[in-house]
Amino acid sequence: MGSDNFATVTTVLTVSAVAVANHALTSSDAFVTVSGQRVQARSATPMAAAQPVASARETLGAKGLLSYGMGFGALASMVHAARPRRRVARRAEGETEIAVAEKKETKPIAYLEELPRTIVEPTLLKQLLAATPKEQWEDPPEDSYLYTLKMYAETYGPGKATRMGWFDFYYMNLNRPAVDNFPVQQGFPTIEDQIAVDQRFRSMSEGRIPLYIPGPAGFFDTGAWIQWRGKEPFAGDQVQTPVTSSGFAVQFLDNLAFYREGLKPWQRGLEIGMAHGYFLIGPFVALGPLRNTPEAATVGLLCGIAIVGMVTAGGLLFGSTIKPTRFDKKGDKPAGGFQEMINWHGIGGLGGAGFAHALITVFGS
């Protein structure tokens, strides 16, 4: 556009100058203005001055003006013909500069190329970069998680430390922001984020927390909630967990011989001992040093009896010192019911181990 305006302006000025010069040279009289009056100038012009004027008028006539216009037009055509090439060259140079600039801008950060997925998820990394100005990617602020990732990349990797300490791994996982709550943690909350935070805060105030499952790169939200607090907010014995307070867990624990209602101490001890003795000899038979010999079942029986004997002796020592009264009846000495249960535990353990040995001997290969 600048060259077009320049050519137009110069053409107009040149044609105007030629027209003024032609008019001045062809006029016979000259007029001057003196004190606002128009008077005729003296015609006493020397002959020497009239001759150059006549020769110039003959030289710049209609043919001269036409020739000048044709020459100027040819020159302007040459300029217009050469201008697109320069424009294309400039455009190509501009596109090259833009491509180089974009390539420089999209060049990946060095310390982000070596980060494994077990350290940071790609989705979380994109959100971290989107929330951090580009000029801070190379040197992120110390209070951002990008700084933690940079310290990791500078400490661990090829040619550096190859084994991460447990505290570094714990620190990174503890401070890793969640992908779903990332905008809130970075200080850019939306209305939906504020509503979600308010609901979560209200739920946690009522004693409900979300159930997360640990995974290789963080924790996964199951969508379930745990009511960990009882009706009394300040009662610590009312804390509830899925293991101790769920319906299945409560029924399972209530059906164990130690907690089942209506059993006598000797019945509890006999059932518990039989279960222990029956399962104790299995690992010694299948995994012991003599597992490939014919004496494997006998060795397992002896090992199971030894463990049952040690457990029984430890239970008797516990009852004689702590003296639990859970199974005592009225008129019994302290820990009498517990001592009875432990004695029958030893008998049941011997019976369970002997029964398992018989099954292995008869039906074992």
For 189-247, the pLDDT digits (tens) are 567 777 888 888 888 888 888 888 888 777 888 888 888 888 787 777 788 887 778 88
User: In sequence order, what are the residues at sequence separation of 6 or more whose Cβ sits closer than 8 angstroms to the Cβ of residue 144?
Assistant: 128, 132
Local structure of 211: helix, strand or coil = strand
CA 70 to chain centre: 71
pTM for this prediction:
0.44
pLDDT value of position 328: 93
Enter the tokens of residue 238.
Answer: 């009312």
Range 256-363 has CATH code 1.25.60.10: no
Token pair for residue 313? 């002796």
- Rounded to 10°, the helix 336-363/265-287 angle is 40
What average pLDDT does range 107-122 have in this prediction? 74
Cα–Cα dist 112/106, whole Å: 13
How does residue 185 score in pLDDT terms, banded at 50, 70 and 90? very low
* Bigger pLDDT: 274 vs 8: 274
Both tokens of 305, joined, read 């009896």
